[in-house]
Amino acid sequence: MDLYYKQELTVGALVLVALAIFIGGLMWLTGKSFTSRGKSVVSVQFGVVSGLTVGDPVQISGVNVGRVSRMELVEVGRAIVHLEVDGRFRPRIDAQAQIRSLDFLGAKYVSYSPGEAEQPLPGDAIIIGVEETELASSAAQLAEEAGEVLRRSQSLLSDSMVIQVRQTMAAAERALNVMSRVGSGPMVESATETLVSLQGAARSLDSLLGNPALNESISQLDEIAESVQEMTDGLAAVTQNLAMMLELMRSPDGSIGRALTDTTLHTDVHELLVSMRLLLDDIRERPGRYVNVTVF
């Protein structure tokens, strides 16, 4: 074979070997492999996957067990991340996944826990993942809060605030002076005399209420009230009985009611009285007709 062709074949073989070494090293560094045998694919749903890229490591207790194989956006606020992990760590129904920061430069990794339940996760099931708060955003928020505190402190220490505090202290001092002057004036003495009078009236009222004669009078008033109540009850009963009697008298079923309501009875009585009067007149005029006296 010509020496020229030998050199070309040697160069080509070296290039192919170098390319194979480069590809193999690149896949080793990124965690990729030519075959997926012995691997398990786990789907995790996140709301935000900022900073996470395909090929980022998947760790269990800090040990790399896989990588992020694929990411897809389903809708706003919902992204599905597919993890390719070692087949020994197949997910259970209580599996968990969380995006965490790998360093301060923004690199991310997925912290994966296959779970401890006995029931395996179905093949089409999706784990609901958790996003970790980024250190940079937390630091920015803390810095913003610190700046707000500093601004408020500066506003408290401003010249206008100092002037207002001084004016407030001066006003308080004047008020205390006025109160001290009022405390020794005639208004306080008048108020004291009024309170003393009220105390005397209260003592008099207490002695009056504690007098035995007053208590006895109150007891007698209670007895009188009870007697009046009994009389009232008796009168009410008598009134009720009278009402019943009057009702019976007015009833046409009774004798008195018939006598009061039957007009023929009045006529008969009138005729009886007239007949008795005629009889008495006839007896006075002719007593012999009715009385015969025989003397033996």
Domain ranges of the chain: 1-30, 36-134, 256-285
* CB neighbour burial string for 151-173, b if at least 16 within 10 angstroms, e if fewer: eeeeeeeeeeeeeeeeeeeeeee
Cα 198 from Cα 189, distance rounded (Å): 14
Q: Across residues 220-237, what is the average pLDDT?
A: 82
Judge whether residue 165 has pLDDT over 80. Answer: no
Query: Smallest Cα–Cα separation from 49: which of 27, 24, 74, 80?
Result: 80
Judge whether residue 19 has pLDDT over 80. Answer: yes
The helix/strand count (H/E) of the chain reads as 7, 8
Determine the pLDDT at residue 148. 75
Q: Across residues 213-223, what is the average pLDDT?
A: 73
Q: Share the mean pLDDT of the chain.
A: 76
Judge whether residue 40 has pLDDT over 80. Answer: yes
271, two tokens: 């005729």
DSSP string, 74-108: EETTEEEEEEEEEGGG--BTT-EEEEEESSTTS-E
List, for residues 235-292, the tens digit of each pLDDT value. Answer: 888 888 888 877 776 666 666 666 666 667 667 777 888 888 888 887 778 777 766 6
Cα 196 from Cα 205, distance rounded (Å): 14
The confidence band for 208, taking pLDDT boundaries of 50, 70 and 90, is low
Judge whether residue 132 has pLDDT over 70. Answer: no
Q: Hey, is 17 helix, strand or coil? A: helix
Contact present, 45 and 78 (Cβ < 8 Å): yes
Determine the pLDDT at residue 265. 66
